[in-house]
Structures are given as structure tokens and as C-alpha cells.
A and B are shown apart, each in its own frame.
Chain A
Amino acid sequence: MNVLLWLVAIFAIVLIINYVNFLINKNDKALFVIAGLILTFYGLDYFQIVPVKEFFGPIFHGLYAYPLAVLIPIGLVFIVYWINFKYLRNRLFLDDSLKAKKQEAKSSDLAWTRRFGDIAPFLQLDLKLIWRNKRTKAQVFISLLFVFYGLFFYTQEVYANAMPMFAFLGIFMTGIFLANFGQFIPAWDSAYYSMMMSQNIPLRKYLDSKAGLISVSVVVMFLLTIPYVYFGWEALAINFGSAIYNLGVNIPVILYFGSFNKKRIELDKSPFGNMQGTSGTQFLIMLPVLGAPILIFSICYLFFSVEVGVAVLSIMGIVGFMFKNKLLDAITEQYRKKKYGMIAGFKEKNS
């Protein structure tokens, strides 16, 4: 009898998870609440404030020991089911979902961007692009979350002395926005690319603005990773070298590869699992952007030391920085050459 009821309870729990999952899929608020709860529990457990993990064993045993407790999961199933039911019911009517969701547009003039001189209008446009479109906005949050990526590795003994791994983390964490946002330049502007190409826009200014935006992101990401110095000075040094390398070398590289983008991106589509605009180009980009610096660092580390690796990355970054103007000129020329292909490609919808 107890076993049977325990099975029922487990089944009820499975159903709860199923219905909760359903809610999460449809509703971001639910997602945040659940994610928040899990993070809090995990945090409480991890920092040994409350041993949350140890609670679960007795709970499951309790379901076995007190058969009547089966009512609790069953009750929960009904509650979650009812929430789902109400939620979906409200969204059942076609005209509701057809009614275009019109956010009230808040104008902003972002006057502070003025100090960047003549790239200001483009910078403003890019900031609005990022802030007012789902997919780009998500990229920013995802990038910020990747700051915590280091925790997975720095905390594990296995990687404690694997310096090439640190180099990967450094390039990756300081360059995540560079990679995520940069690889789709100029496809972000694909919806109005013909206008950009026929308006009085110097292509160079357009690229300068993108480069500026990514530079800021690299610096910010580097600042955010400074606390990792806790895991050893190497972490900080490598992150620093990586940031310089990203600024000096990877920004021109990613802008250059951007000129191969020919796939349109609809900005207002959901970001998750959205492969729009992705093509072989993106995979090709990742090789030099991520692979090259790690390889360079690893070689320097194996033959010499961490210091040499960091120095070489930094020097390469500084050299890239010195030739920034030349490089951007060459990239501008490349964009000019590819212009017709891009315009034609960006016009093709549903690809």
C-alpha cells in the first residue's frame, strides 16, 4: 500500500514538473521565479547556510512513511494544473493574440553619447537597436551571465593548473559580447541596409561606431572578471592579456568576417534557439577569434611561462591597436566590395 501510494506521489511530482515546465515555456515571469528559487536554494546549500540538499531525502522518505502525505503532491498537481488552465484560457482567443502588442515607444535622445563626436548618431542607433529588439537585448543579458562561466572552471581542482583553459576563459569571458554581437555585424541592420547604403553615411563611421561599442563591452567584461583574481593572479593576468588581444586583434577580425554576412535577421523574433542569420560564416569566424589566441598563449606557456603568454597576447593587441586605422580602412574597402551581395542577401526573407 505504502509503495503504491509512493508511486502515485512520484507520478504526481512528475506531473507537477510537467505543468510547471509548461508555464515556464509560456511565461517569462514563471521562469524567473523558478530560476530564482533554484538559485537561492543552491546558494543556501553551497554556502552551508541551510543544507537544502539534505531536506529532499527525508521528504521522499516521508512520502513513503506517511501514506496520507500523498495528498500534498496531488493537491499541488491540481493547483498547477488550474494555474495553467486559467492562463491558457485567457489566451485562447485568436483576436487577442492577433491584437498587435504595441509597446509605448519612449523616445530617448541619449545625449551623453554626444561626447563621442561624429560616431554619436550611429552609437545611439546601435544602443537603440540593442535595447529595443528582443534578440539583441537577450544577447546582452546572456553575455553578462557568462561572467559566471569562470566559476565552473576556476573552482575545479582539475583545471587549477591548466593555463590554456584559463586562456580560453579569458578570451571567452571578455569577448563574449564581441562574439555574440560582432559575428552578426552588419546583419543586425539588414532590415534597412539599402537605406544605410544610399544615405549620406560614410561606411567608415558606421564601422567605427560598431568597433567602439564592442570595445566598451570588452572593457566592461574585463572589469567584471577582476574578482577572479581570488583564484590566483594568473587568472587576472590572463584575462587582462585576453582583453587587450580582443580589443586590438579580435575586433578588426570579427568586423572583417562580418563582410561575409549575407543572411537577413528579423530583429523582433525571439532570441532563444534562433538560428536566423547563421551560416557557415559564423563557424569560420569562431576559429580565428577563439582558437588563435588560445593556441598562441598555449605555445608561449609550454615553451616559456604564463608571463610570456600574457605579454605576447598583450603585445599583439597593442600592435593591432596601433594599426587600427589602417585595418579599419581595409575593412571598409572590403565592405564596399561586398556591398551589392549584402544588399541582395539581406533582402531575401525567410532564409
Chain B
Amino acid sequence: MITADNLTKIYGSQLVLNIDHLEIPKGQSFGLVGNNGAGKTTFFSLLLDLIQPSSGQIVNNEVQVNASEDWKPFTSSFIDESFLIGYLTPEEYFYFIGELRGRNKADVDALLAQFEDFFHGEILGQKKFLRDLSKGNQKKAGIVASFIGNPEVVILDEPFANLDPTTQIRLKAIIKELAESENVTVLVSSHDLMHVTEVCERIVVLNKGEVVKDIQTSAETLKELETFFGG
């Protein structure tokens, strides 16, 4: 589904990302871990064509992302607050995203109904603008918005950060279900080794821009990661 080749990103004289070859097959739930500055967000930004690669390219479902816009209809993402429109209410925001992805109000409402638990009554019908919601609630809205319109690729940067424990657990269930039941490729980055090992079939560790580990998740994975980051 997603292939990165000879991908590098250089800021000034600093090489922040250098991936020779990385292939993510369709339907995989893919976890990206690494310390701050390891290049996780850089990789996602390249994947979304928000920054220009210094060399190489990413191909998403046979579309080279920096050459064509055709990857947009089947790819959705939530990277940070800059993906939210502060002066809309959550409902308006969901409908707007729905509209962009060819879903009418009824479709969006049906989807939102599935996330009632996840929202915990703090998102819908609050008569508040997104800019007035707490960080955690903003994040919830952004994550759910990225599920609108049956995307084939869902990219979530640090989805667990800022969420309360209950919501984290619910989010894990949601991501697992998404990766299993539908043919959806989910890309998640996280600092939390436990969450990511629970949710993802495959984990790639980035360190200073390079892929240092590429593991199929098993019972020992968490241990392995802990020793890597601990030692």
C-alpha cells in the first residue's frame, strides 16, 4: 500500500530522516516509535506531502504523493491541532469533513453514533467551538474526524497523548477494530510502548531518522522495545 524509497529529509545540514526502503502492506496496523526528534512526525508529514522530501519518494497506493493529489480521497489523518478548525463546533467540523469526503449529514451522524462511548458526552451537543474544548477533547474530535468517509489509510500522530486512561483504552479498541474488520491501513506513532505494542501488528523503531528495528509484534516485543530504549 505504502512504499518509501531512498527517502531523506535534510534541514540545513542536518539529516532528520533517512529511510532506504520501507513497505507497508495494505491492511496492516503499523506502529512508529522513537524518541523525540527521531523523525516520526517528519515521516508522516512527508507521507501527507506537507513537506518536500530532500530525495526519494513515497508512493501511496500507486500514487506518488508529491506528484499527484490523487491519494487524498482515500487517505485521512490527524497530526495535531492544526487539523482542526477552531471556530466551528465539533458537529459542523464533522459535517464539513464529511462533505469533503462525499458523505452527507446522515452518513456522518451514523458514524458518530458509533463513537458515543469514545466521546463520553463531551463532544457532541456542547454548544462550544472546537477552540474552546480541552486539548484531550479536541484530540478526540480530530481522531474521529479522520475516520469519516471510509479512508483506506488512516494516519494518527501520537493519538494517545493528552487522553485520559478510559479514553486511551477505548481508542485502542477502536484502532484494533479498524485494522481488523476493514481493509484499512492504520499508521500510528507513539511514545507509549505499551499502547503501540497492543494495537499494532508491526512496529518500526526510528532513531535519529533511521530505521533501527522492524518487528512483527509478538509477546516478547514489549520487552525487546523496553530493553532497546532502556539500554
Chain A residues in the interface with B (C-beta under 8 A): 100, 102-107, 109, 121, 124-125, 128-129, 132-133, 191-195, 197-203, 267-268, 340, 343-344, 347
Instruction: Name the contact of A132 in the complex, choosing from B69, B72, B87 (C-beta under 8 A).
Output: B87
* Cβ contact within 8 Å between B100 and A121: yes
* Cβ contact within 8 Å between B86 and A267: yes
Taking A100-B132, A132-B129 as given, write out 14 further A-B residue pairs in contact, using a Cβ cutoff of 8 Å, ordered by the A residue number: A102-B128, A105-B89, A106-B127, A107-B89, A107-B92, A194-B50, A195-B83, A198-B48, A200-B72, A202-B69, A268-B131, A340-B50, A340-B52, A343-B50
The 4 closest A-B pairs by CB, nearest first: A195-B83, A132-B87, A198-B48, A121-B99
* Cβ contact within 8 Å between A192 and B82: yes
Please indicate the chain B residues that have their CB under 8 angstroms from the CB of A203 in the complex: 69
A–B pairs, 23, beta carbons within 8 Å: A105-B89, A105-B127, A105-B129, A107-B91, A109-B95, A121-B100, A128-B88, A132-B129, A191-B86, A192-B84, A192-B86, A194-B82, A195-B83, A195-B84, A195-B85, A197-B49, A198-B48, A198-B49, A198-B72, A201-B100, A268-B86, A344-B51, A347-B82
| Interface check B176, CB cutoff 8 A | no
Cα(A202)–Cα(B69), bound, Å = 8
Given contacts A194-B50, A197-B49, contact A267 B87 (CB under 8 A): yes
| Interface check B119, CB cutoff 8 A | no
| Contact digits for B191-214, partner A, Cβ 8 Å, 1 yes 0 no | 000000000000000000000000
* Cβ contact within 8 Å between A121 and B51: no
| Interface check B26, CB cutoff 8 A | no
| Contact digits for B77-117, partner A, Cβ 8 Å, 1 yes 0 no | 10100111111110110011101110000000000000000
Taking the closest CB of chain B, its distance from the CB of A121, in whole angstroms, is 4
Chain B residues in the interface with A (C-beta under 8 A): 48-52, 69, 72-73, 75-77, 79, 82-89, 91-92, 95-97, 99-101, 127-129, 131-132, 149
Of all chain A residues, which has the CB nearest B125? A107
Of all chain A residues, which has the CB nearest B131? A268
Taking the closest CB of chain B, its distance from the CB of A28, in whole angstroms, is 20
Please indicate the chain B residues that have their CB under 8 angstroms from the CB of A199 in the complex: 72, 76, 97, 100
* Cβ contact within 8 Å between A128 and B87: yes
Of all chain B residues, which has the CB nearest A343? B50
Given contacts A121-B96, A194-B50, A194-B82, contact A133 B87 (CB under 8 A): yes
* Cβ contact within 8 Å between B48 and A102: no
* Cβ contact within 8 Å between A105 and B86: no
Cα(A340)–Cα(B79), bound, Å = 16
Please indicate the chain B residues that have their CB under 8 angstroms from the CB of A197 in the complex: 48-50
Please indicate the chain A residues that have their CB under 8 angstroms from the CB of B99 in the complex: 121
Given contacts A340-B51, A343-B50, contact A192 B85 (CB under 8 A): yes
Cα(A339)–Cα(B128), bound, Å = 31
Given contacts A128-B88, A193-B82, A199-B72, contact A105 B128 (CB under 8 A): yes
Taking the closest CB of chain A, its distance from the CB of B49, in whole angstroms, is 7
Taking the closest CB of chain A, its distance from the CB of B58, in whole angstroms, is 13
Of all chain A residues, which has the CB nearest B151? A200
Instruction: Name the contact of B92 in the complex, choosing from A128, A133, A193 (C-beta under 8 A).
Output: A128
Given contacts A197-B49, A200-B101, contact A102 B85 (CB under 8 A): no
* Cβ contact within 8 Å between B50 and A198: yes
Please indicate the chain B residues that have their CB under 8 angstroms from the CB of A103 in the complex: 129
Please indicate the chain B residues that have their CB under 8 angstroms from the CB of A133 in the complex: 87
Highest count of chain B CB atoms <10 Å: which of A129, A197, A198, A199: A198
